[in-house]
Chains A and B, each alone.
Chain A
Amino acid sequence: MTHLPLWFIPLFPLIGTILLGTIAVVSSGAKKGPSEGLVGTLAVLFPALSFAVVAILACSMPEAGFRETLCNWIDIPLFRADIGFLFDGLSRIMLLFVTGIGSLIAMYSIGYMHGDRGFARFFAYINLFLFSMVVLVLADSLLLTFLGWEGVGLCSYLLIGFWNQDIKNCKAANKAFIVNRVGDIGFLLGMLTLVTIGGSSLLNYDGLAAFINMVIGAGEVVELVLPLSLAGLLFFIGCTGKSAQIPLLTWLPDAMAGPTPVSALIHAATMVTSGVYLLARLSMMFCLLEHVLLIIVFVGMFTALWAAIAGLLQNDIKKVLAYSTISQLGYMFMAAGVCAFDASIFHVFTHAFFKAALFLGAGAVIHSLAGEQDMRRMGGLINKTPVTACVMIFAFLAIVGFPGFAGFWSKDLILERIFVSGPILGPIVYVVGLATAVITAVYMGRLIIMTFFGKYRGDKETEEHIHEAPAVMLFPMVILAFGAIFSGYLWADSIGLTFFRDSMASVVGQAQALYLAANPAAHVNPVIFAALGTLAALGGMYIAWKVFSRARIIGVKGASTVPEGSAASWTFLWDYIHCAFIAVVNILAWFCDVVVEKVLQAIQWTIAAIVEILGDGASILQVRKVRLQLSFSVAGVALLVMLVIFSGGLV
């Protein structure tokens, strides 16, 4: 073996988890917490080591990637699974930014969590999250991916409810966990469907690709489309849960109850994109399933549009970013739905940078305002926190798709791929996507204007304490801001840079070629799309400037940041729909409780009563004289023997 073993990558965060967990448990009883310097160093060191391993492997990776089977996991008749790792073009990109951004955010958290009682516990969770995420991405089979999938769900739960003294945080954590659980059922059933179709070898990604190739070669696609569509749909349900798409998207805005670095790492950059990752991993299967792809496109489109409008109505700075994350994820799913998996992963990649930068910037703002999250009580911060403001403005330009910034390249690519995907459907989805881009620019512009421009609207007392974040927080933010500016140049089609596409080609290239063969794309000049995208961004920014820089925003006194009136009904639309579903289930549960269980119990009781009465009667025969009992038993044996003899013997 000439390269580093792949299991080094998850190993380091695992060691970090164990060490930090031990420190957290040991120091939990002590009056003073553990040394923050030590804990912080450990917490950054292990993800950084992991990142170094990934970087070394990424440089030396051959075209086909590395494959490594660690050991056997499950081996029973009809089912066999190995613990194996797969490092190829797709997992390389994902791992690079998961471990890289993970290390940066761990570093940022040292400043953000300073003085918190659960300092060590927080970093133990972060390391556990990185471990699970690495397993999710690096796994070579769906089963191991599912292990990581559950692991990140658990860490998300633990970190949303990190400040568990507040019941609201605990409720948000429960909501995230339970809604994700609904999606996980889809994932599990999808795996089951695949195993039913072709045995446990289909759970392996290579095995699945080989199977699909065999099916295409034998010309049996038509017979298998139906069961495969079922599997694809179930997997997509899993993705909607993890990636917060319609209908399972309500948990993500609530998940903002967690500490802001968690929102940046888990609920913006990495975990929520694992749904997109899964679609790209299963690209060979999805490229055959036209109907499922159609569903994905529409779900992505509606999610992007709905979340963008909901983002426009929020007052909480983190909620705006949460809805914008949902909206951007919608773009990724739209791209996946037209089989443009490389474009969707590219958007995952650029989005990770600019959204993490936005969240970290928001965190720095909240930090400097001593926990204030309501944008109506901010304003004019550009003079007081210039570095944070610059980082957020760069990230803002990236997310709205300002020419030259990261989001411009990836979003335009997605919109272009959508437009050329079909004669009727393409333009419709394209127009909605473009409208969403305009709204994105509006609400992001609103966020920037309300936070950094105008006059400060909070009370005087906090104004004196506003300060720039410490260097340990600023450094990761600046790095991410550079990422937000330059990461788009890995695949800048218009100026001929296609490094990203080439590195993804070995994974999703075949699937996309198959799709293109079935749905030939019209050729359109990419400059037109770039111009339209730029126009959308500029238009949105102009609207935001016109509307929000003049509007007098009243500095509110109340504590609630929840939108009111029609804004609330739009924001909580999906919560209401969920409630309707839950009501139906409650009625069913009531029915089961009252009718089924009570009736069954009545029958049970009746039988029990009869037996008891019979037993009471029989126990009269049992007397307290030992000799009489013995006589009875001898007489009984004699009776039995006679019965046997007179009935003709045993034979």
Chain B
Amino acid sequence: MELQPLYIQILALVIFAIGIIVAVARRNLFFVLMGVELALNAVNLSFVGFAKTLPAEASVTGQIVPLFSIAVAAAEACVGFAMVIMIFRNKESVDADSYSDMKG
């Protein structure tokens, strides 16, 4: 049986939801960042899934965009982890709730 695009979307939605929930619910900053990455990759998956619905020559676009976003995500992860490490050195804690110095 041909893989239905709808299932891909459902899978992407599930992964996205898991990512967001992890990002919101976990207090450990590393898990928060992992959740964010997960949500990002779910979006990439959704892109590819939609690309499948298009005719072959147009679908290439949908497959290229995730490549870009993976590169951007890698850069973002670098920066994000660097920041977390810097904050960790100051705070001696990876608890997201203890980072509330900006008095928002």
Contact = CB atoms under 8 A, between A and B. Distances in A.
Interface of A: 622-627, 629-631, 634
Given A634-B20, A634-B24, A627 B96 contact: yes
Contact of A626 (B25, B100, B103): B100
B76 to A, nearest CB: 16
A640 to B, nearest CB: 15
A568 B99 CA distance: 82
Listed from nearest, the 6 A-B pairs whose CB atoms lie closest are A624-B100, A631-B24, A626-B96, A622-B104, A627-B24, A630-B24
A630 B32 CA distance: 11
Contacts of B12: none
Nearest to B32: A627
Interface string B8-25: 000000000000100111
Nearest to B29: A626
18 contacts: A624-B100, A624-B103, A625-B97, A625-B100, A626-B96, A626-B97, A626-B99, A626-B100, A627-B24, A627-B25, A627-B32, A627-B96, A627-B97, A629-B104, A630-B23, A630-B24, A631-B24, A634-B20
A136 B23 CA distance: 77
B91 interface: no
Nearest to B103: A624
A626 B104 CA distance: 9
Contacts of B27: 627
Given A624-B104, A626-B96, A627-B24, 13 more contacts: A623-B104, A624-B103, A625-B100, A626-B97, A626-B99, A626-B100, A627-B23, A627-B25, A627-B96, A627-B97, A629-B104, A630-B23, A630-B24
A634 B103 CA distance: 21
Contacts of B97: 625-627
A622 B23 CA distance: 19
Interface of B: 20, 23-25, 27, 32, 96-97, 99-100, 103-104
B40 to A, nearest CB: 14
A417 to B, nearest CB: 86
A624 B101 CA distance: 9
Contacts of A629: 104
Interface of A is mostly: helix
A630 B20 CA distance: 9
A634 B23 CA distance: 11
A629 B97 CA distance: 11
Contacts of A631: 24
A87 B100 CA distance: 79
A391 B6 CA distance: 113
Contacts of B32: 627
A625 B102 CA distance: 10
A634 B17 CA distance: 10
A623 B103 CA distance: 8
A541 B27 CA distance: 110
Contacts of B24: 627, 630-631, 634
A629 B99 CA distance: 13
A626 B100 CA distance: 7
A169 B99 CA distance: 68
A629 B32 CA distance: 13
Contacts of B23: 627, 630
Contacts of B103: 624
Contacts of A622: 104
Contacts of A625: 97, 100
Contacts of A624: 100, 103-104
A637 to B, nearest CB: 10
A623 B102 CA distance: 11
Nearest to A638: B20
A629 B104 CA distance: 10
Contacts of A623: 104
A623 B97 CA distance: 11
A199 to B, nearest CB: 57
Nearest to A625: B97
Nearest to B39: A634
A642 to B, nearest CB: 14
Which of A623, A627, A629 has most chain B Cβ within 10 Å?
A: A627
Nearest to A634: B20
A576 to B, nearest CB: 66
A407 to B, nearest CB: 86
B15 to A, nearest CB: 15
B103 to A, nearest CB: 7
Nearest to B100: A624
A489 to B, nearest CB: 92
A625 to B, nearest CB: 6
Contacts of B20: 634
B43 to A, nearest CB: 13
Which of B24, B32, B97 has most chain A Cβ within 10 Å?
A: B24
A625 B23 CA distance: 13
Which of A623, A624, A629 has most chain B Cβ within 10 Å?
A: A624
Contacts of B99: 626
Which of A622, A626, A627 has most chain B Cβ within 10 Å?
A: A626
Nearest to B99: A626
B50 to A, nearest CB: 16
A619 to B, nearest CB: 9
A624 B104 CA distance: 6
Contacts of B104: 622-624, 629
A594 to B, nearest CB: 43
Contacts of B25: 627
B51 to A, nearest CB: 21
Contacts of A627: 23-25, 27, 32, 96-97
A159 B23 CA distance: 77
Nearest to A623: B104
A110 to B, nearest CB: 73
Nearest to A630: B24
B36 to A, nearest CB: 10
A624 B102 CA distance: 8
Contacts of A626: 96-97, 99-100
A634 B99 CA distance: 20
B30 to A, nearest CB: 14
A626 B23 CA distance: 10
Nearest to A622: B104
B71 to A, nearest CB: 24
